[in-house]
Structure 1
Amino acid sequence: MSDVKFDAVRICASSELTDGGPGVRRAASFAGGAAVVFFVRYGGQAYGYLNRCAHVPMELDWVEGQFFESSGLYLMCATHGAIYAPETGKCEGGPCRGGRLRPVHVDERDTPEGRAVFWLPDAELHPSSP
């Protein structure tokens, strides 16, 4: 299955992701099961992760698409309060200290419609089947 290639998936216009602001969610398949991935912007760069806390496999967002805690500096698990560095996915505090979010490969590029954020899926984490 590692030879399976997936096309890049357009997630949103670059302007739709603001630093420390709401994220964009997409349905995914992770290791053969249903999952969700999310995309956010921090420090001017787009990042993506599997929406699954490193402590307990629960989604992070406290309201759909809300991943940052109030300061906009960390991603936070709404269930257990674990906080993650948005640029690395490393747990910086809480019950999963030292754990990491599973990264999603992101590419931001110019398109005929303007700059956009793309997900580059892999064999283990890719869009769910329609």
Structure 2
Amino acid sequence: MPHQAVFLCHSADLVNSQHAVPFEVLYFGRSEAAFAVRYQGKVFAYLNRCSHVPMEMDYQPNEFFDTTGHWLMCATHGAMYAPQTGHCRMGPCRGGLVKIEVSESDGMVHWHTSEKFQLATLHE
């Protein structure tokens, strides 16, 4: 299956170190929550799954940044991740977040399908 760019949101929807934009992907065939954030002017996206314990990380819907606005934080055990790379910087975690490729141009943000990530479709 060819890779494709999937519209995620308008660029203005993502503000530095603020709310995330949620979306769904198929990760190796399984539906998973994901999120995109803007940090220092760039957009980054990850599965919404802590590497310490595979559970969703946001402490309020679409809230991932700590109070400093410099770390993505898991609400359950306090693991902290670098927004640019998803690498664990402190707290209980194993490795890092699962990164999803994104691009931004002409005021739009897209995420990209791959061997790991496919478009989640709605089943009726």
TM-score by length of structure 2 reads: 0.93
Counterpart in 1 of 2:108?
116
User: For residues 29 and 63 of structure 1, what CA distance do their matches in structure 2 show?
Assistant: 23
Q: How many residues align?
A: 122
- Tell me whether 1:93 sits opposite 2:85 in the alignment: no
Unaligned runs of 5+ in 1: none
- Aligned 8 A contact 1:69 1:76 in 2: yes
User: What is the root-mean-square deviation of aligned Cα atoms in Å?
Assistant: 1.1
Counterpart in 2 of 1:104?
100
User: For residues 22 and 35 of structure 1, what CA distance do their matches in structure 2 show?
Assistant: 19
**Structure 1 moving runs of 4+ over 2 Å:** none
Please point out which of 17, 22, 25 is paired with 1:20.
17
Please point out which of 19, 33, 36 is paired with 1:36.
33
DSSP 3-state at the match of 1:20: coil
Please point out which of 49, 52, 65 is paired with 2:49.
52
Structure 1 vs Structure 2: percent identity of aligned residues? 42
Unaligned runs of 5+ in 2: none
Q: Which amino acid aligns with 2:16?
A: D
Equivalence map 1:67-86=2 (5 Å): 67-86=64-83
